[in-house]
Structure 1
Amino acid sequence: MADDITIHSLAETERTPAELAQLFNTAFGEYEGVVYFTPETMAWYVARPGLGREHTFVALAGDQLIGGVMVTCAPVVLGGEPISCGIIDSVMTLPTWRRRGVATRLMEHALAWMREAGLESSLLFTVPHSNGHRIYTRLGYIERATVSYYFALPAPRGKADPRLRAAVPGEEERVRALLNTWLRESDGYVPVDPGLWRWRREERPHELPCSVFVLEEAGQIRATGALCTTRVQLSSRPLDLVVLTDIAGDSPETREEMVRALLRRVPPGYGVGMLAGSHDPVLRALGEKLGMSCQDEVAMVIPFHPRAEGLLDRQPTGWYTLAESLIGV
């Protein structure tokens, strides 16, 4: 039973990224579209700004690692304004320990920790009607949006666009500023500060390459987007996948044009993935128009503070799905 386990921060143990990666791959191996973690990619992920070994909690049964949860402290836009938030990722339990209260114990520990840390809210993603969804609902989380994971193999053809080019190193700060401008009112968005940008761009492992592109017209950047390459599990087999992320622009039209242009950069033989949300009609409509398959999850939130409760009374005017939380890239 869960009474027989103990919960510790990763920093309080000698558990390695390799052990955490093995736990993750075992716990989520049956799920579609999930990234396969290596020790190197897990070490990078745990080093995510606001996470670290101190905010990664593990469940031990004696000396056996049986579960874990990650809590990233970051500002997240809710109700159109950034608010301090604990982003819950990777609530994982070994299959042999499921339905024994481990996930509930981990989440209760994480919730107590977030409240004590003074965070105003928490955000997580889960599959509707799943056991996890029932646990989170019982603990007080409420649904905020539907998030859609579109994918296709082969990739849709796309459309060549002479305005598309790779961002050069000297202008990446400009791209970061544009992302923060264009997405600043989209619920779910994490404003990108220099530390988060550096982690995403400079510190990422070679197994997870990512390239940033811009759509430039008459010297003006009209849209941005990124191609992140990874390996996921789809239809019970590994698949090399290019994920389109951080699609932003100065109009709905330029966002669609950016997606179509990026599709032409997907290597032959690779699948393609794209994230959208229920309050992002542009990308959802485009995913359907392109004939991509869709897997839905829900974003759930819980307020810890009256300010958060007030912001959650507002309807989202847009939605941003955090790729490192939903997929792991």
Structure 2
Amino acid sequence: MNDDGYRLCAHRDLGDMARQLTDLSRRVFGRYDGVLVPSEAHRLWYARRPGMDGMLSTAVVRDGQVVAGAFVTVADVRLGGTLRRTGIIDTVMTHPDHRRRGLARRVLEAAVDGMRTRGLEAGLLYTVIDSMPYRLYESLGFRGHTPVCYMRRIQPIATGRDLPVARRADAADALRLRAFMDAHFGGHDGYLPMDEALWRWRKLNRPPELPAQVWYLETGGRVCGCVTLCPAPVVGHDEESWVITDLALEDAGDAPAVGALNALLDAIPAGAEVLTLCPRVERDLLRTLAMCGFEAVGEDEAGMVLPLSPAVESALSTPPPRWYVAVESAIGV
């Protein structure tokens, strides 16, 4: 404990105070347009994220109240073309009544020190470019590595379009869909290989109020496209939004890609808001989204990387040719 009465505490040691993380996130993110509406069910689900580390995830406590915190997930993430043990940091927050005391810096410094001690090679997080948090992360050694844009469309009314037929995945489809995603995203920096634990957490073992639907396309008996659709309450949006994650389309030219994307999204009700994140380096996907009526909204986010090894330091010398966004670390779904 410092002389100012604030003490660092690992999430694992919070005990009954852990429920306060939900209240804190409501205070901090309840007015952040575009992020998931905080809830206790979401916090409990997120705490079960594969690799979520209860020791590296840190809070600041004062007088029995959690007033700042951050989550850290340890995972193998592709950076510089190689899987590297990485600390994924998200949900960095400080109670409004306790700001301007350097608490977020304390939390992050503790997390980064722990990551170095563990021998991790990198840190990774997402935040709005040139924002106050962005500048804080820069001061800690994080580098803006790739810009990511927030995209939106209103789901059109079906007009009898001649589209491919998408199928909703069931348990029997999991293995080949995981293999398709690993093959499709295998060359993307930022990607976490889709093992069984991550698949089950992202797609199956979710709170009832945050369901996920996995849809896919196939041709000649093989998968050629897939997407996960997550209806979710989003801050600043009056009605439920549909968040697209893990969108993977085979390269087949503009017209087939547009048809494939519209087919994968066909289950979304007409008039619903559809949201996704797309890295700026993914020019073909950006073009396909635009041709399907998506428009960039708000300010770009950045995937920021903290090099903790010479290999990652070298990898950051050039922009990534491809990038994958772990949407749960940016929007929360």
Q: 1:97 to 1:131 in 2, by over 3 A?
A: same
AA aligned to 1:324 is: E
Q: Do 1:226 and 1:247's aligned partners in 2 also have CA atoms closer than 8 Å? A: yes
In 1, Cα distance between the equivalents of 2:79 and 2:94? 29
Query: Segments of 4+ in structure 1 off by > 4 A?
Result: 156-160
In 1, Cα distance between the equivalents of 2:224 and 2:264? 14
Q: 1:95 to 1:238 in 2, by over 3 A?
A: farther
Q: Deviations over 1:120-152 (max 9, x none)?
A: 001111112211111111111111100111123
2:169 corresponding residue in structure 1: 167
- Name which of structure 1's ranges 12-21 and 295-304 shifts more when overlaid on structure 2: 12-21
Q: Do 2:190 and 2:323's aligned partners in 1 also have CA atoms closer than 8 Å? A: yes
In 2, Cα distance between the equivalents of 1:232 and 1:85? 28
Q: 1:232 to 1:160 in 2, by over 3 A?
A: farther
Q: Deviations over 1:227-246 (max 9, x none)?
A: 11110012xx4431111111
Asked if 1:116 corresponds to 2:120, the answer is no
In 2, Cα distance between the equivalents of 1:276 and 1:2? 45
Q: Do 2:52 and 2:73's aligned partners in 1 also have CA atoms closer than 8 Å? A: yes
Report the number of matched residues: 326
Q: Do 1:252 and 1:282's aligned partners in 2 also have CA atoms closer than 8 Å? A: no
1:81-230 mapped onto 2 (5 Å cutoff): 81-152=82-153, 154-156=154-156, 161-230=163-232
Please, what TM-score do these two structures have when normalized by structure 1?
Answer: 0.93
2:261 to 256, 259, 262: 259
In angstroms, what is the RMSD of aligned CA positions? 2.0
**Residue 110 of structure 1: how far off its partner (Å):** 0.9
Q: 1:303 to 1:105 in 2, by over 3 A?
A: same
**Residue 280 of structure 1: how far off its partner (Å):** 0.8
**Residue 160 of structure 1: how far off its partner (Å):** 5.5
Asked if 1:239 corresponds to 2:242, the answer is no
SS at match of 1:100: coil
Asked if 1:307 corresponds to 2:311, the answer is yes
Q: 1:17 to 1:7 in 2, by over 3 A?
A: closer
In 1, Cα distance between the equivalents of 2:231 and 2:66? 30
AA aligned to 1:155 is: Q
Q: 1:173 to 1:132 in 2, by over 3 A?
A: same
In 2, Cα distance between the equivalents of 1:241 and 1:10? 30
- Name which of structure 1's ranges 3-12 and 142-151 shifts more when overlaid on structure 2: 3-12
SS at match of 1:7: strand
SS at match of 1:4: coil
- Name which of structure 1's ranges 49-58 and 26-35 shifts more when overlaid on structure 2: 49-58
In 2, Cα distance between the equivalents of 1:37 and 1:256? 34
Q: Do 2:56 and 2:115's aligned partners in 1 also have CA atoms closer than 8 Å? A: no
Q: 1:107 to 1:210 in 2, by over 3 A?
A: same
1:37-116 mapped onto 2 (5 Å cutoff): 37-116=38-117
Please, what TM-score do these two structures have when normalized by structure 2?
Answer: 0.92
SS at match of 2:234: strand
SS at match of 1:301: strand
1:275 corresponding residue in structure 2: 277
**Residue 16 of structure 1: how far off its partner (Å):** 5.0
Q: Do 1:80 and 1:317's aligned partners in 2 also have CA atoms closer than 8 Å? A: no
Q: Do 1:2 and 1:105's aligned partners in 2 also have CA atoms closer than 8 Å? A: no
- Name which of structure 1's ranges 139-148 and 274-283 shifts more when overlaid on structure 2: 274-283
Asked if 1:294 corresponds to 2:308, the answer is no
- Name which of structure 1's ranges 36-45 and 247-256 shifts more when overlaid on structure 2: 247-256
Q: Deviations over 1:18-68 (max 9, x none)?
A: 321111121112211110122122101011011143342111122111111
Q: Do 1:81 and 1:185's aligned partners in 2 also have CA atoms closer than 8 Å? A: no
SS at match of 2:101: coil
Q: Do 1:167 and 1:214's aligned partners in 2 also have CA atoms closer than 8 Å? A: yes
In 2, Cα distance between the equivalents of 1:324 and 1:116? 26
